[in-house]
A and B are shown apart, each in its own frame.
Chain A
């Protein structure tokens, strides 16, 4: 059932679900006392710098590191040849491919790791890089998948056994026969051929590590910018052949992640190997350029989408041919079964029976990665495609885009809804969200203004009514590199009634230390301020798959609620002992058990906790703690409707945002302040991609966008202001009804911005402009139309 907002049931002091509790983590951040990766210093620590390929594709004839080695302060120069002696020149990717740690045979993209210098000082390490002499024999570079698939294209992965072309994967979803049959009967077919450009998550803190191998014990401690420290520990154990109990990954405060800190990068492996061999701690911190040219990019999808329509403005089927540019190694972080991630959510918020998606990934001479940049496994590309197609389908049907959506939406009574590509949507009410957005934005008023706007300044109104799928997994279907996608929570109530909660996830700014404390507060009545939340240290937290794809609240949040309930059951036993009553006679209210019918006769959770360590009954284990591994029965399906109003100058192609309204439904909101912060940040990302933010390459494979002067991320000056609304449709299968929200706005909003610009120019014959919608593209579309 949908409501407009959820009301808290606990007092502000307890601060359970629904309270905008101020964040626990902020006290250290506002005093400059956060501890990020580069803030860590160890005795005897050495510094590493990486030499990277200046060219996109070349054979390595030789590497001469003698001059670099001779530089005072240089401790070692590491090459691929050296690593090969330890069987570490190559490493597995999260998608089952292999990736060069340091290149031995060829370089396959500009920025690829070729050698590393370990020195006593970071300045000296960088001084030594140009002293390494690499002799390259240039090869032709492939910079897009069409070139990669062309006959006679050079084989990028010539080292890979059985690889005879540049295809990284093929994959399909849906029912081809049913889809073809629906298209054969269609009254109208609407098409869109679009490229979702390559972009980069570029968290403000780059990636890095500090590897500390104890030469006496062999224990390996790695401080790592990691969104998934447990998974990374296991993979380190497997890749390096180290005993897992000797590896401790510590992911400290992270200065943002957005998917960029999910993969394992070659620098981590080299620094660890160097520490192992040299016997001293080795730190490696990327520069911004290194971050942009070599670590996990997002998107780079070429999509040909079609919608079949009947004669009355109803969608009957969808067909997509999709080609992804994977770069030189297939290093996506996708669930194993789903090669193109969850792109098959592309039927979106609409009810139609047939869909078919054919996807192909292609190797190119570009950086690998394919990470879900603030997105749940390619949901962003999917949402963009359907929302762009739907707008064009509305126009082609002679309908208003809002009316067209209302007509085609899945209806509230159809949930749980079985999508034609195999998802089971848990809950939704798309009509209410769009209706609310239209009222907040004064949709009718803007349509009237649009009618009146003539000349060179055109008003455009864009809608996006997205549906996401987040919160992987269940473990039956979802795994990363074989590791099942559950998550866990461990909760201990101390004798004084205070608590510590430990999670397998890892916050990168999302406010986990506050939000998850609030879940415990809700379930046990312990004030949120009495609860410490710990993440990111594999020695001191239970196993989990980490934080990405909006999965922390759906999975670890559920685990937190469940472990709290386990503890409440144990507390019941203790309370019965203290109250000399039978367990069945006890009632729970926030923070205490009392005897039915005698509300004055009760004990608080704090009194119970004290008894657990001082006065526990015979036959009952001492202590009050538990652990819960939560395997979600289904994904969650957050949704929302966004409306953007723009004014386009048809003479210059410049467009200005006049209004952004975002109505989000992420189920129950645990901390509304934090949720709104996530949405504001996500909308900014969506605007950025629609307006300015992309990474391109020249024909030789040189990365354009290798720094913040060329890769434009929005500042406060360009960023529009946002008006937020909410509906609350709880997830029926989640213990507290929450769905996850960190990525909704990044997923949903790009199409709303582009739809607005196209809406302004549709009457001029403009049917599409690819992102980023730069002024020259707008101008060109008008001239070409």
Chain B
């Protein structure tokens, strides 16, 4: 099937097998490897991308389902050469260790902040509860997302 997906602002037209997963489309077809695969059961969230602004797990969508829609991946967080505040906040708050869950965490965090710029600890924990981190114990991820919210409000 021929599909056209807007990925990080650029229109991407490709012929894909109907069964191709969105995550494989992003990684193999487009060569954007910041979106990761950590499980096969929609449990871990390493493959999270934003579909029309909403976090989705790209291992559980077919590429054809993204036809005509907008996808944002971690590669699209940086705008005009400027890191997104959530990227800066993850580094400054030590919100990552191995970095494998980080793209998904940042995308979920940015979607949360778009709706709720000043989330409580529980708000953040609930929002990221579909994303597993095996390294950090989450405290610094929560701090990072909250601090990005503050930075964005101050901006």
Contacts and interface: CB of A to CB of B under 8 A. Distances in A.
Contact of B100 (A23, A256, A510, A715): A256
Interface residues of A, number: 54
B134 A202 contact: yes
A684 B141 CA distance: 13
Given A680-B139, A680-B140, A717-B126, A205 B36 contact: yes
B25 interface: no
Given A23-B94, A707-B39, A716-B138, A29 B130 contact: no
B137 interface: yes
B129 A681 contact: no
A30 B78 CA distance: 10
B99 A26 contact: yes
Interface in B23-42: 27, 31-41
A52 to B, nearest CB: 14
A25 interface: yes
B64 interface: no
A30 B83 contact: yes
Contact of B106 (A30, A511, A707, A716): A30
Interface in A1-50: 22-23, 25-36, 38-39, 41
Given A204-B132, A677-B136, A684-B138, A30 B96 contact: yes
A509 B83 CA distance: 22
B134 A256 contact: yes
B100 A205 contact: yes
Contact of A204 (B78, B128, B133): B133
Given A32-B103, A255-B98, A713 B32 contact: no
B134 A27 contact: no
Contact of A30 (B27, B44, B87): B87
Interface in A191-208: 202-206
Interface in B73-107: 73-75, 77-78, 83, 87-88, 90-92, 94, 96-103, 106
B54 interface: no
A593 interface: no
Contacts of A253: 98-99
B124 interface: yes
Interface in A666-697: 673-674, 676-677, 680-684
Contacts of B92: 22
Contacts of A707: 39-41, 43
Given A677-B140, A684-B138, A30 B102 contact: yes
Given A30-B96, A256-B98, A680-B136, A39 B33 contact: yes
Central interface residue in B27, B38, B44, B126, by most chain A CB within 10 Å = B38
B103 A36 contact: no
A508 interface: yes
A719 interface: yes
Contact of A713 (B126, B132, B141): B132
Interface residues of B, number: 58
B17 interface: yes
A32 B35 contact: yes
Contacts of A256: 97-98, 100, 134-135
B141 A681 contact: no
A288 B34 contact: no
Interface string A121-163: 0010000000000000000000000000000000000000000
Contacts of A721: 121, 139
Identify whether the interface residues of A are mostly helix, strand, loop, or mixed.
loop
B131 interface: yes
A31 B142 CA distance: 19
B103 A123 contact: no
A744 to B, nearest CB: 13
A709 B43 CA distance: 7
B90 A26 contact: yes
Contacts of B134: 202-204, 256, 258, 681, 713
Nearest to A289: B40
A722 interface: yes
A287 interface: yes
B37 A26 contact: no
A288 B139 contact: no
A117 to B, nearest CB: 18
B137 A31 contact: no
Interface string A372-407: 000000000000000000000000000000000000
Nearest to B130: A715
A30 B90 contact: yes
B47 to A, nearest CB: 11
Contacts of B102: 29-30
B138 A673 contact: no
Given A26-B91, A123-B17, A715 B98 contact: no
Contacts of A41: 31
A708 interface: yes
B87 A716 contact: no
B74 A32 contact: yes
A708 B108 CA distance: 20
Contact of B98 (A27, A31, A205, A676): A205
A337 B17 CA distance: 54
B97 A717 contact: no
A719 B137 contact: yes
B141 A203 contact: no
A683 B136 CA distance: 9
B91 A38 contact: no
A253 B103 CA distance: 15
Contacts of B132: 204, 708, 713, 715
Contacts of A713: 132, 134
B113 to A, nearest CB: 16
A340 interface: no
Contact of B138 (A30, A36, A39, A719): A719
Contacts of A526: none
A254 interface: yes
Interface string B49-87: 000000000000000000000000111011000010001
Nearest to B99: A29
B87 A288 contact: no
Contacts of B38: 204-206, 255, 288
Contact of A255 (B90, B99, B131): B99
Contacts of A682: 137
A260 B94 CA distance: 24
Contacts of A202: 134
B99 A717 contact: no
A596 B127 CA distance: 61
Given A29-B96, A204-B100, A677-B94, A716 B142 contact: yes
Contacts of A38: 27, 33, 36-37
A124 to B, nearest CB: 10
A680 B41 contact: no
Contacts of B7: none
A722 B139 contact: yes
5 nearest CB pairs, A to B: A32-B34, A29-B99, A509-B98, A255-B100, A32-B74
Given A31-B77, A41-B31, A716-B142, 12 more contacts: A30-B87, A32-B34, A36-B36, A203-B100, A204-B38, A206-B38, A255-B46, A681-B135, A681-B137, A716-B124, A716-B133, A716-B141
22 contacts: A29-B102, A30-B90, A31-B78, A34-B99, A35-B33, A36-B36, A38-B27, A123-B19, A203-B100, A255-B99, A256-B100, A288-B41, A673-B94, A677-B97, A681-B136, A708-B41, A708-B132, A709-B41, A716-B133, A716-B138, A719-B137, A721-B139
Interface of A: 22-23, 25-36, 38-39, 41, 123, 202-206, 253-256, 258, 287-289, 508-511, 673-674, 676-677, 680-684, 707-709, 713, 715-717, 719, 721-722
Interface of B: 17, 19-20, 27, 31-41, 43-44, 46, 73-75, 77-78, 83, 87-88, 90-92, 94, 96-103, 106, 121, 124-126, 128-142
